[in-house]
A and B are shown apart, each in its own frame.
Chain A
Amino acid sequence: MMMFRNLRFALSSAWQSFWRNLAVSMAAVLSITLILILAGVNLLVGHALSQVLDGFREKVSVISINVADGTPLSAVYAYQQQLSTDPRVAAVRFITKEQALANFQADPNNAALVQQLDANPLDAKLEVKVKALADVAGIDAAARQWSGVDPTNPTNYQGDFVNRMLQLSQWLGLAGVGLLAILVVVSVVIVMNTIRTAVYHRRKEIEVMKLVGATEWFVRGPFVIEGVMTGLIAASIALSLLVIAYPPVVAQFKSDIAFIPLSYDPSFIASLARDLLLGGALLGAVGSYIGVRRYVKV
């Protein structure tokens, strides 16, 4: 019962002081909003990058093994069977010379070349989908040992490219985390100082509270709740701005740089909303807690 009364007191006094010191409150809201927009952009860019990388990953995890002309079909099937029992392999598909040519002709980019073809220069191939990107190199090495492989052009595997993609995706992930960490530190410092200003205006009230015997949490409670309120308001503003800006930016990006398969992903907005609201509330609470600590201490 007493807890409930204290909570009600903390809530009502947080609400009052937010409106009473509107200028300071707005300063805090704006700085948190700015930080959350930066963090949100970081999250969105990270999400877009991982989408793009997933696309690449999908592509490079497929390796084609070219079959030498004249290899008996039974040998190809036997090797296909052998590959599909390999635990590293997800699926194996056999593409005949004719299918390969048909695929080649179907691509409008190749129209000029197709005109000059008199015979079918393409190999039949085994398309192997590998489960983990790191195992592609192993499959490639094994395929080169196979008797039926085309010795002049064994596979389409470009080892360097795959490794670089793997490294790039790791670096990008790390850079995103690092940027987010810096943002968190900067924002806690900003919020702390903004709230310390708000607390400074009310140091007399805190002094009186302490003199009449308020516990430290009783003094701190309203400020922490005010911080959470500030953080939630800032998160709502940042979120609505980001949600409004997200689709047109993606559309613009798509029309400018078509070869990067960026797409608008509305399902990500829910997780973005959760992250921003949680982050804003936490930032406000931690900033207030630290900001008020100096004055609450006896």
Chain B
Amino acid sequence: MRYTARDLARCARRRQTSQQEFQHMVLTPDFDSRPVMSFQHVWKTYPTGTEALRDINLVVPEGDFLFLVGPSGAGKSTMVRLLIREEKPTKGKIFVDGVELGRMKRRKLPYYRRKIGLVFQDFKLLPNLTVYENVAFALRVLGEPDRLVQSRAAEALDTVGLAGKEQTYPANLSGGEQQRVAIARALVHAPRMIIADEPTGNLDPATAWEIMQLFLRINARGATVVMATHNREIVDLLRRRVVAIDAGQIARDDRSGRYHDDVSKPQIRAQ
């Protein structure tokens, strides 16, 4: 059975389907529908003169699970920074959910960020807040009422398997657990897109795999996932969409790809 993102999102919203069912679903992104994200001839040159991205064209349909791979300094992080509008493109346009990021007003930015969930390699948890407070923080910032904050935060912590650790401080958690907290925080406001920058970079292989399972489950519930990663085993195992960036350009875009295709071989790259 094939599901499109829209079916799943609708189910998830109505809570008609249990979490267990989702786990077995493989979401097939609908490439014909309006894309959630698109890069159109995007160039990024930093003030120092570094050309980080050169003519990037990329379409991400709703419900897609996309790996951004490539050597360090290839431009993966620049793409992530452009997507969360920490940077603006020098040339070209980026559309997310129908909005052109380069022309978005500064005061609209917070409202845009609320539509996406962000996960980072260094977790970015607040050390002086408990696990629960860290997750609840993302909702408090939006001015949500206490009752909603409590139930949603508890639900998000349950999803990532951290129920019972609410009152623990991040320093007393393992790396994998800290990343789970960060994922719960990214999930708690039910974003339609998750952007993750090397989420498994600081984790051992077994823990990294557990974290990936979480992302897969989130994707199966209908959220679009864009993940920059160096984790070859995971990319090769999952056979999801792989976009390889090399020297600021898209070297490869496979619907079910591997980490290394031929892109890392010098003679191919030279062409």
Contacts and interface: CB of A to CB of B under 8 A. Distances in A.
B185 interface: yes
A2 B113 contact: no
A294 interface: no
A208 interface: yes
A3 B118 CA distance: 26
Contacts of B14: none
B126 A204 contact: yes
Contacts of A210: 110, 113
B137 A212 contact: yes
Contact of B143 (A6, A207, A208, A211): A6
Contacts of A3: 143
Given A6-B143, A213-B113, A208 B137 contact: yes
Interface string A187-216: 000000000000000001101111111111
A218 B126 contact: no
Contacts of A218: 110, 141, 143
A264 B118 CA distance: 64
B126 A212 contact: no
A214 B109 contact: no
A227 B97 CA distance: 39
A212 B126 CA distance: 13
Interface string A214-241: 1110100000000000000000000000
Contact of A208 (B84, B110, B126, B189): B126
Nearest to B138: A212
B266 interface: no
A164 interface: no
A9 B126 contact: no
Nearest to B122: A204
B124 A213 contact: no
A213 B126 contact: no
Contacts of A211: 84, 113, 118, 124
Given A212-B113, A213-B114, A298-B86, A207 B124 contact: yes
B265 interface: no
Interface residues of B, number: 26
Contacts of A207: 124
B185 A212 contact: yes
A20 B110 contact: no
Contacts of A204: 124, 126
B103 interface: no
Given A5-B143, A211-B118, A212-B141, A298 B106 contact: yes
Nearest to B84: A211
Contacts of B118: 211-212
B149 to A, nearest CB: 10
A81 B189 CA distance: 88
Interface string A129-151: 00000000000000000000000
Nearest to A211: B118
A208 B112 CA distance: 15
Contacts of A208: 124-126, 137
Q: Which of A204, A209, A213 has the most CB of B within 10 A?
A: A213
A208 to B, nearest CB: 6
A205 B138 CA distance: 11
A7 to B, nearest CB: 10
A215 B140 contact: no
Given A209-B137, A210-B110, 5 more contacts: A204-B124, A211-B113, A214-B141, A215-B110, A298-B86
